[in-house]
Structure 1
Amino acid sequence: MSTYRYGRYVDGPDPLAPPVDLRAAVDELGREVMEGSSPESALRELLRRGLPGARGLDDLTARLWRKRAALTRRHRLDGTLQEVRRLLDEALTAERAALFPDPDDEARFREARLDALPRSTAAAVGELAEYDWRSPEARESYERIRDLLGRELVEQRFQGVKQAVENVGARDVERIRDMLADLNALLAAHARGEDTRESFDRFMREHGEFFPEDPRTVDELVDALAARSAAAQRMMNSMSEQQRRELAQLSQQAFGDSAVGAQLSQLDSLLRGLRPGEDWDGSARFRGDNPLGLGEGARAMADLAEMDELAEQLAQSYPGARLEDVDADALARQLGAEAGVDARRLAELERELRSQNLLERAPDGSLRLTPKALRQLGETALRGVVDGVRAQGQRDSPSAGAAGELIGSTRPWRFGDTEPWHVPRTITNAVLRSAGGPLALDVADVEVSETEQRSRAAVALCVDTSWSMVQDGRWVPMKRTALALHHLVRTRFRTDALELITFGRHAETVDIGELTALEGVWEQGTNLHHALLLAGRHVRRHPDAQPVVLVVTDGEPTAHLEPTGEAEFHYPPLERTLGKTLVEVDGLARLGASITVFRLGDDPRLTAFVDTLARRSGGRVVAPDEDGLGAAVVSDYLRSRKRR
């Protein structure tokens, strides 16, 4: 029998992972925007924090910095020098052990020569280049120094070569020397601008084993080599001056062939000329206890450079930055596969917000929420308001309305329905049920047209935008209330005319997008007089509609509009301000509008004024808390429709 094993999917993003939650993202964006952030900064904040199921940019960046700090705290860069010193001491100890029993003067001369070796490791290795070792063990240790230097120097510039030449012989050294000579000739021709396509193909056929990156062009080869060579140079820059001198001298002993060191120096010079944009002058401070060899140190420097570049990509601080710029594969190399998946999900979120027409560029280049996004925010706000209305004991009606105006939808007939039949749907149901047989109507086939008893309304929602609304935490509830009412009118009562009016020192009419993105500013003045003037203008434009005026405020009127168009502010309020405001209340009452005031706060002067306003207009005062404001406004609007 076949057996199956199930485990975590590791080959990239999980194909069964749920798609990004755009609705939750839009809700988060809307909350930030309503609190005063621009859509641009709200999107950046959302991407920094992330969403459930996807860590944000801040978390990924913090993990990168922690790994970078751990790398520099754990290691130091003198591993190759230490290993060379160890092998040299091992060779000298074995040689002295071989010379000690010999009474010959030549043995004493050799001992004196060993005793006179320079203290510098590199100088001592250089002086022993022509020494005729008597001890086979000593000779082997010295040869291991040469092989180690060769492998480390080559691995600094060529990824994965150290393993390929672990047990190096004369043939391997010749192969490396030929590869370096051919490579330098190829890059020199490329630097001169010659056509090197055939030369490159021939080079890769002969020496492709040294390049696991499998470059397809000379430029790809140069890119890979230059990044590695620059990392090797940054490693040298991070060492002390003495360590650099030692390594420069030791490089001449690589594989016991000074030509290899010379070829590597020529290669570095060519790469620096071909890719001057690489970081050749950088450095890092390593202060740990774990020594790294030249190859390991170059990899560490390359990792540091990759982490720095990833941190810049995650910061998104450069012009035109997009999350698609983040190298998810590099992030997965540094932080694991899950980090790459998180980066891809965030990029997908940003891409979908734009492609799904939820964010768009304004003519001035700024980012803004689209009408589609505002509808989603309104739907969310209305859903929250409806929950609040239900909590107060009200319920949705199971019927869309009594016999009246058609709203375009149908439903199956139920006993007691008085709506007209929808004949096309009823006949279609009968035909489908009969399946080609004799046509006969059944009660189950009947569908009725949904209707609604509608009387058109001209609704003016006047919202206070003075600084106290921001200061006392009423800014976002006010915006959420406006979104909910706007969405309700636009989707459920489309024949009603809704006007949104904001009033601080002055009043103005705004669309829902402007109100949603409105930022709180320090401005003294509550010009209800001007707001009611605009409400009266809206009501007069719709003489056939029932006027409905809703006012949300947390302060008594402290400003009024002068005939010149200037606003006069005074606190405590002037009698002229209160009088001009009540004149507009009386004018709206003559038009048949009763004003409902939603009083926020318990200021006694405000309470006294709105009570007077309600009595003169035949309206009423509602005093909800901030969380209940939306439910109170929507309930009053629906109550006014039922009354009509």
Structure 2
Amino acid sequence: MIGFNFSEYKNEGKDKSTFEQLLNIFQQLLLIFAGNVSEALSYLSDLDRQYQLTDDKYGIADFIDDLKKQGYISEEKQDGELTLTAKTERNIRKQSLEEIFGKLKRAKSSGNHRSPHKGTSDENSSDVRAFQFGDNLDQISMTESIRNAQINNGLGDDLVIFEKDLEVTDRESNIQTSTVLMIDISHSMILYGEDRITPAKKVALAMAEIIRTRYPKDTLDIIVFGNDAWQIQLKDIPYLEVGPFHTNTVAGLELAMDLLRRRKTKNKQIFMITDGKPTCLKEGINYYKNSFGLDRKIVNKTLNIAAQAKRLKIPITTFMIATDPYLKKFVHEFTEVNQGRAYYSNLDGLGGFVLEDFERNRRKNVK
């Protein structure tokens, strides 16, 4: 199939039922086929013929029946069209989060909203970490510290506790953060036989899920940009498709900044996932487009918007799915103007980079 690369299926879920294994593949295919249930099931059948995913006891038809019975898909009464349910959309978010964030190396203490500075509404968390210079004495966890001293220094009558034995209860800052995630949906996101939009959708779903579950007071707005830019809802993400668009980065950034202006939170940030250079501007009702190289008119406008974001104290983190030297030079200049960050990521590492930097920015930005 043009635009997608599939590797040989490996059965890594031997302890799971056939239904669970097929459900995992089916949900991956739903993202690839923009939520089209019929196309996803058709391709799943092709994979079954090629890799024998099912056997004589349980076939694809049984799987489809179970999807209906368990509420993963529904069938329209009038035309018989199969559609996704809210249950499947939630499942895809959770799967994306586990696929991306579950593989990251977690720190010893992985609590919520950790900050290098003490806020006005800090509360003790359930996380314990090693004592550091500057920690308050009332943070010391006596149970953990005494146990460390017993292990390290022996169980004598006169127990001695050294600084290295001390552990403290970490504190959480209740300061909110507002994030806008920008996703490039220009035509280049499926060019050259590589599907780049599906990993971008997984990242958006994972970010939405981690904010909903770990940082419920935070906000996440998601926008897409091609010739124009517009906001989408969480439920729209699985159905995203690449269009015949150029890349109007300016429109995306202007919309992102407008959304953040409406937020009352102190800490604000923009994450931009793109694989191409800015190639489009809107001038009144007309579009100024140039796909050949870096057009100075478009570049200057893009740099101006980056500087404007800096004045508003909105850092922009750019995740560039490209390695062309001239594009890297542009992104470097863009990042310097904004004082943000830039990553040149392959598709496999994209999710990890985004989520790690999301947490790093939170710790850095909270003052």
TM more than 0.5: yes
Higher relative contact order structure (alpha carbons within 8 Å, sequence separation ≥ 6): 2
3-state SS, counterpart of residue 593 of structure 1: coil
1:369 equivalent in alignment to 2:68: no
Q: Tell me the residue number matched to 1:612.
A: 333
Q: Which amino acid aligns with 2:58?
A: D
1:532 equivalent in alignment to 2:253: yes
Q: Tell me the residue number matched to 1:354.
A: 68
CA, structure 1 residues 607+474, in 2 after alignment: closer, same or farther (shift >3 Å)?
A: same
CA, structure 1 residues 55+558, in 2 after alignment: closer, same or farther (shift >3 Å)?
A: closer
C-alpha distance in structure 1 between counterparts of 2:238 and 2:173, whole Å: 31
Contact 2:320 2:345 in 1 (8 A): yes
- Report the CA distance between 1:532 and its aligned residue: 0.5
CA, structure 1 residues 371+534, in 2 after alignment: closer, same or farther (shift >3 Å)?
A: farther
| CA deviation profile, 1:64-119 (whole Å, cap 9, x unmatched) | xxxxxxxxxxxxxxxxxxxxxxxxxxxxxxxxxxxxxxxxxxxxxxxxxxxxxxxx
Structure 2 counterparts to residues 157-556 of structure 1, below 5 A: 339=56, 341-343=57-59, 346-360=60-74, 366-390=81-105, 395=107, 397-400=109-112, 418=139, 452-471=172-191, 472-521=194-243, 523-556=244-277
Contact 1:26 1:376 in 2 (8 A): no
Greater CA radius of gyration, 1 or 2?
A: 1
Q: Tell me the residue number matched to 2:29.
A: 32
| CA deviation profile, 1:209-267 (whole Å, cap 9, x unmatched) | xxxxxxxxxxxxxxxxxxxxxxxxxxxxxxxxxxxxxxxxxxxxxxxxxxxxxxxxxxx
CA, structure 1 residues 400+591, in 2 after alignment: closer, same or farther (shift >3 Å)?
A: closer
C-alpha distance in structure 1 between counterparts of 2:230 and 2:273, whole Å: 15
Q: Which amino acid aligns with 1:30?
A: Q
- Report the CA distance between 1:551 and its aligned residue: 0.8
Contact 1:374 1:513 in 2 (8 A): yes
Contact 1:533 1:584 in 2 (8 A): yes
C-alpha distance in structure 2 between counterparts of 1:621 and 1:364, whole Å: 50
CA, structure 1 residues 558+354, in 2 after alignment: closer, same or farther (shift >3 Å)?
A: same
Q: Which amino acid aligns with 2:40?
A: A
CA, structure 1 residues 483+399, in 2 after alignment: closer, same or farther (shift >3 Å)?
A: closer
Question: Share of identical aligned residues, percent?
Answer: 25
Q: Which amino acid aligns with 1:25?
A: L
3-state SS, counterpart of residue 238 of structure 2: helix
Q: Which amino acid aligns with 1:462?
A: M
Q: Tell me the residue number matched to 1:158.
A: none
C-alpha distance in structure 2 between counterparts of 1:18 and 1:400, whole Å: 31
Q: Give the counterpart of 2:41 among 40, 43, 49.
A: 43
Contact 1:554 1:606 in 2 (8 A): no
Structure 2 counterparts to residues 24-173 of structure 1, below 5 A: 24-36=21-33, 38-47=36-45, 49-50=47-48, 56=54
| Cα-Cα RMSD | 3.5
Gaps of 5+ in 1: 1-16, 57-337, 421-448
Contact 1:501 1:509 in 2 (8 A): yes
Q: Give the counterpart of 1:597 among 318, 321, 325.
A: 318
- Report the CA distance between 1:462 and its aligned residue: 0.8
Give the structure with the higher percent strand: 2
- Report the CA distance between 1:388 and its aligned residue: 4.5
Contact 1:527 1:559 in 2 (8 A): yes
- Report the CA distance between 1:541 and its aligned residue: 1.3
C-alpha distance in structure 1 between counterparts of 2:65 and 2:140, whole Å: 46
C-alpha distance in structure 2 between counterparts of 1:505 and 1:637, whole Å: 27
- Report the CA distance between 1:45 and its aligned residue: 3.1
Q: Which amino acid aligns with 1:567?
A: Y
- Report the CA distance between 1:21 and its aligned residue: 3.2
Q: Tell me the residue number matched to 1:277.
A: none
CA, structure 1 residues 527+356, in 2 after alignment: closer, same or farther (shift >3 Å)?
A: same
C-alpha distance in structure 1 between counterparts of 2:361 and 2:127, whole Å: 27
- Report the CA distance between 1:586 and its aligned residue: 2.3
Q: How many residues align?
A: 306
Q: Which amino acid aligns with 2:337?
A: R
Give the structure with the higher percent helix: 1
CA, structure 1 residues 410+597, in 2 after alignment: closer, same or farther (shift >3 Å)?
A: closer
C-alpha distance in structure 2 between counterparts of 1:464 and 1:375, whole Å: 23
CA, structure 1 residues 419+458, in 2 after alignment: closer, same or farther (shift >3 Å)?
A: farther
Q: Which amino acid aligns with 1:41?
A: E
CA, structure 1 residues 26+495, in 2 after alignment: closer, same or farther (shift >3 Å)?
A: farther
Contact 1:560 1:567 in 2 (8 A): yes
C-alpha distance in structure 2 between counterparts of 1:410 and 1:609, whole Å: 44
CA, structure 1 residues 535+399, in 2 after alignment: closer, same or farther (shift >3 Å)?
A: closer
Contact 1:526 1:558 in 2 (8 A): yes
- Report the CA distance between 1:49 and its aligned residue: 4.2
- Report the CA distance between 1:30 and its aligned residue: 2.5
- Report the CA distance between 1:454 and its aligned residue: 2.8
